[in-house]
Structure 1
Amino acid sequence: MVRRHKKKSRKYLGSRSWGAGNIKNRRGKGNRGGKGRAGIHKHRRLWAIKYEPPRLRVGFPGKKKKLKVLSLDELNKQIEKGFWKPDETGLFKIDLSSQDIKILGSGNPSYKVDVKANAFSKKAREKIEKAGGMTSVKI
């Protein structure tokens, strides 16, 4: 039967080091850096920070979630394109809380909107409420 993949060992025929770089890089136990958790506070410190349980971790804080931003101008354009439909009172109910979005205040809202998002700038909140809309933050 025909094979779809050749053995990896065939790739390295004629290659002296089999992808290890210099010959000395895989020679003997001296290249291991110790056995078990040896060197956890010395040469394996970054490994410990990354993989050890939190009680043993040291150092770097976790990443903060970055919010995507959406301006009031872009919100108006999306309403004009028909992404959201108004209810009987003419109010557009827009729920962006699942998308991790912060609403910024550049532009002016042309419509009454009830926006639910992760965060609002002060100006965005003022402008929306001044236009007769409502804002609510996801908890």
Structure 2
Amino acid sequence: MKLKRKKKSSRYRGSQSAKRGRKARTRGSGNQGGKGWAGTGKRGDQKKTLVIKLTGGNNYFGKSRTLRRGTVPAKLDSINIKQVIINLPSLIQQGKAKENKGSYEVDLDGYKVLGDGEIKEKLTVKASAFSASAREKIEEAGGKIILIGKSGEKSE
């Protein structure tokens, strides 16, 4: 007796919807409602272009960004006071520092100044951020602190 074989097409391997119309209907989570930006529909990547557009680039996807989702504050480079003093001659050469009557004016835009080291010179330091100990040491030596904001505006 000849056996009746099942057609291969009835197994639906490799089919995303397995002949149930579309992914969302049988997958739980209420058709993915309330699950953030998870895409639904037969073509699951359909929301990717929207996500890339809304986050301003492809920094939404991937393991390393699972909690951040594209809103990461810019990290400032840090520099210690002792490094500033050691490198004063080269900073003057580069045009990032000026000498004014026994004091120095140093422009460290994009840096956070940390308080490791000792100061004997008067410094007027312009930087994006200062640690509490750096503030204290600069002001004790008779210097000034000038904070530079995001768009370059200065505030004392």
- TM-score normalized by the length of structure 2: 0.52
| 8 A contact 1:76–1:110 mirrored in 2 | no
Please report the RMSD computed on the Cα atoms of aligned residues, expressed in angstroms.
Answer: 2.5
Which residue does 1:106 correspond to in 2? 116
Give deviations 1:67-122, integer Å, cap 9, x for gaps: 0001001001012556234212x11011122xx10000000123110001000000
Unpaired runs of at least 5, structure 2: 1-37, 61-67, 150-156
CA–CA distance in 2 between the matches of 1:103 and 1:71?
A: 6
Matched, 1:91 2:92: no
Q: Structure with the greater relative contact order (CA < 8 A, sep ≥ 6): 1 or 2?
A: 1
Q: 1:47 to 1:82 in 2, by over 3 A?
A: closer
Partner in structure 1 of residue 39 of structure 2 = 41
**Are residues 82 and 138 of structure 1, via their aligned partners in 2, closer, same or farther at CA, if it must alter by over 3 Å?**
closer
Counterpart of 2:52? 50
Q: Deviations along 1:47-71, whole A, 9 cap, x unmatched?
A: 43212478xxx98142211100010
Percentage identity across paired residues of the two chains:
28
Structure 1: give runs of 5+ residues left out of the alignment: 1-39
Q: Which has more strand, going by share of residues?
A: 2
What TM-score, normalized by structure 1, do the two folds share?
0.58
Aligned pair partner of 1:78 in 57, 67, 87? 87
Q: Distance in 1 between matches of 2:90 and 2:39?
A: 58
Structure 2 counterpart of 1:92, one-letter code: Y
